Structure 1
Amino acid sequence: MMEIELFGLHADLNVRSRVAWSESSVTALYEQLDQPCVILVTCHRFEIYATKKIDANRILDRYEGQAVEVYTKQGNEAVRHLLEVVNGLHSQIFGEDEILRQVKQAYATSVQMDRCDSKLHRLFQLALRCGKEARSRFRMSEHPLSIAYLARQTMGDLRGKSVLLIGSGEISRRLLGYLKDEPCAIYIASRHQKHANALRAIAPRAKVVPFDQRVATARRCDLVCCATAAPHLVLPVFLNEKPLVLYDFASPRDIDPAFATQKGVTLYTLDTFAALSKANEAIRKEALEDIRALIERDVKEWDAQNASGMQAHTLRALHAQIDEISGQTFSALERKIDLTDREKAVLKKSLRASMLRLLHTPIHEIGTHYDDLEPATVQRLFAVEPDKERNEDECI
């Protein structure tokens, strides 16, 4: 039986800045691997979920010997890990919201690349449903931990100030949602004019400036927020003439780290936002046990859905026997006893429930520990015929 294989690696910000996984490089990796898989790349994460072992050398060669930490998981451990990831349990900012969108996008890219087989389809649909259910049931959105939200919390009073957004992706979109009603001037710079103009639908009063004028515009602004997918710096260091607050939401970095040494400049990076989330994180962690219970429920569901062919056949055969025997008993009693329609329905339901209670332990053992049982013994004990269709398929 094919199991889910997870290959992942950790790297610090300096390494991530030198080895950028752009959209085009991820597409190229899909083509190189040439197997069913989903590649999940975020600012802090690189993971591949597949239905057969990943050739790690294809990924590690790109890092040219730089320090990275590789981790792998298989089967239910890989499934559990993905469910924890989609719920933000492995994020630098506990329970952050952005990861759900990133997992959804990674899944969509795999589908678009025709690299998502039926098993990966079911896995990622399960993961996205789990992430949405956790956020809905435990009302985590009432205590936002998105990077954009945390950034807005640090900006303070924006009255009379000017803000430049460089980049037109999801983080810029969320920031605009927080800034649109603030009494400040907003500028947007993007390589893609069409994308920048689309952002103005959120904040119509924002002004789009040409991308090649981003530095000149930044010199005039009080706050600059960078969130692009560029593999290089998009805001080189310049001498500030007034206090300046910079937000670098990119990995690799968008903003020259040399700004941090200048007087009057405050530079926020992805790594500094983790410390800003403590208050809301404490509130969210109250739901941690509930989220873990939800995850374990879905891992068990995955396990049940992916039972081996003979295991599934045995369980189906047992339930068929229950239906047959309880049905025969009901028919015999129905002929001998004069019952109302309601009494017939209650009797039929009670007979089947009694059979299920009788076979509860065997069904549970087959469902959870089938690999530890002797299939021939199970078949003899419960008069289960071998799955002929499966045996014929295996002989082809």
Structure 2
Amino acid sequence: MQVGIIGINHKSSSLALREKLARLFQAEFGPKDGVLLSTCNRTELYFSGGPLAERHSAILDRLKGVGLHALYSYFGPDCFNHLSRVISGIDSAIFGESDIQRQVKLAYENARQKEKLSHELHYLFQKGLKIGKEMRSSFLLSKKGALLPHAIHSIVEWQGRTLENSRCLFVGNSSINRKLISYFHYKGARDLTLCTRTEGNVFHVVTTGWEVLERWDDFDVVVCGTYHDGYVLEKKEGAKETLLFDLSVPRNIDPALANHPRLKLYNIDQIGVMAQKNRGEKEIALCETVIEKAVARQMQLFKKRKQAKWFYAVSC
């Protein structure tokens, strides 16, 4: 299978370098280059066509030498195995997090609609999504306690607050913010506000425009999860005590706010480290074994189909 990947993630680099490369990947690569997956934990380009070594070198040249030491590459079955681990959520900072499956599907659909992808890339993503769905159904649905909403809830309580008595502001009408709003409401939070640039109804929440950001420190908890080329929360003199959660890459909140004596700021990497305590090494090993077997099975099917097409072409 002539497929490859070049990428960077939360394990291979710092958050600052991921921000820089996320912008560079977005500027340099489009659907003609393959499938570009960019999330808070990773930025990856999946490509095909041969010779793969030449494609790989050409992509590295376009990255202008930025962060080459932190990039990883996989080819063929290793690329397939990596994507399946990503979709399943076992390669995420928050073990088993579910939003990555939606993000991979959107990245694939976006590339598929804008450009004709190779047969190998179609097979890679269609079967990778199938494996991820099977993994969640069989192994990961019971691990809701390790997901992002629970991790943030745990930090809020660890800081001596309760959701029931907290004013919460969510910046961005993103999928992850909508999940957090639903989770917070389920846990008893009632004072929920969504700051968004788009129209749309979200249950359990008061919707407002971006003017509310001028007084963001009136809230007890602020969660930023939106795409914005710049900080939406910046230094503010005399800020009140507020818990800040920045789920975005590039970041939405100026990291300098972490130095303010009355503010507590958690970025996506810090949240992941705290949530990682819930990960079981035996369970991860089991999931990886199941994925490897599923990938090997799909690779065999791919080879058989390719051979069948070759025999048919020869016999005609």
Q: Which TM-score band applies after superposition, normalised by the shorter structure?
A: 0.7 to 0.9
User: Secondary structure of 1:180's partner?
Assistant: helix
Classify the secondary structure of the residue corresponding to 1:296. Answer: helix
Match for 1:47: what amino acid? E
Deviations 1:41-99 (A, max 9, x none): 12221222222233555566456645652222221111111112222232223333222
Unaligned runs of 5+ in 2: none
Task: Using structure 1 for the length normalisation, give the TM-score.
Answer: 0.69
Question: Is the Cα contact below 8 Å between 2:18 and 2:43 reproduced in 1?
Answer: no
Equivalent of 1:275 in 269, 273, 286: 273
Contact 1:87/1:100 (8 A) holds in 2 = yes
Give the aligned length.
304
Classify the secondary structure of the residue corresponding to 2:71.
strand
Q: CA RMSD in A?
A: 2.8
Deviation sequence 1:160-201 (CA, Å, 0-9, x none): 321111111111111111122424311111122x1xx33x2x
Match of 1:46 among 27, 30, 43: 43
After TM superposition, list the pairs within 5 Å mapping 1:226-245 onto structure 2: 226-245=224-243
Asked whether the equivalents of residues 151 and 271 of structure 2 are also in contact (C-alpha less than 8 Å), the reply is yes
Separation of aligned partners in 2, 1:97 and 1:103 = 11
Q: 1:64 to 1:309 in 2, by over 3 A?
A: closer
| TM-score, normalised via structure 2 length | 0.84
Match of 1:375 in 2: none
Which residue in 2 is equivalent to 1:352? none
Partner of 1:171: 176
CA distance in 2 between partners of 1:250 and 1:39 (Å)? 17
Change (3 A) 1:387 1:243: closer
Alignment of 1:1-396 (within 5 A): 2-9=1-8, 10-21=12-23, 26=26, 29-31=29-31, 34-35=32-33, 37-52=34-49, 53=52, 54=55, 56-58=57-59, 61-62=62-63, 65-66=66-67, 68-156=69-157, 157-181=162-186, 182-192=188-198, 194=199, 197-198=200-201, 200=202, 202-203=203-204, 206-216=205-215, 218-282=216-280, 285-307=281-303, 311-312=307-308, 387=311, 389-390=313-314
Aligned to 1:342: none
CA contact 1:79–1:123 (8 Å) conserved in 2:
yes
1:105 shift after superposition? 1.7
Cα offset for 1:288?
2.7
**Residues 166 and 189, structure 1, Cα contact 8 Å, conserved in 2:** yes
Question: 1:252 & 1:310 partners in 2: Cα distance?
Answer: 41
Tell whether the 8 Å contact from 2:2 to 2:120 is kept in structure 1 after alignment. no
User: Aligned partners of 1:79 and 1:310: how far apart in 2?
Assistant: 17
Instruction: Name the amino acid aligned to 1:292.
Output: E
> Is residue 131–residue 294 contact of structure 2 (8 Å, CA) maintained in 1?
yes
**Higher RCO structure (Cα 8 Å, ≥6 apart):** 2
| Conserved 8 A contact 2:172-2:197 | yes
Which letter maps to 1:264? R
Q: Letter of the aligned partner of 1:235 in structure 2? A: L
Q: d(CA) in 2 for partners of 1:19 and 1:387?
A: 44
Q: Distance in 1 between matches of 2:77 and 2:183?
A: 39
| Structure 1 residues 19 and 28: CA distance shift in structure 2, 3 A | closer
Q: Which structure: larger Rg?
A: 1
Counterpart amino acid of residue 302 in structure 2: N
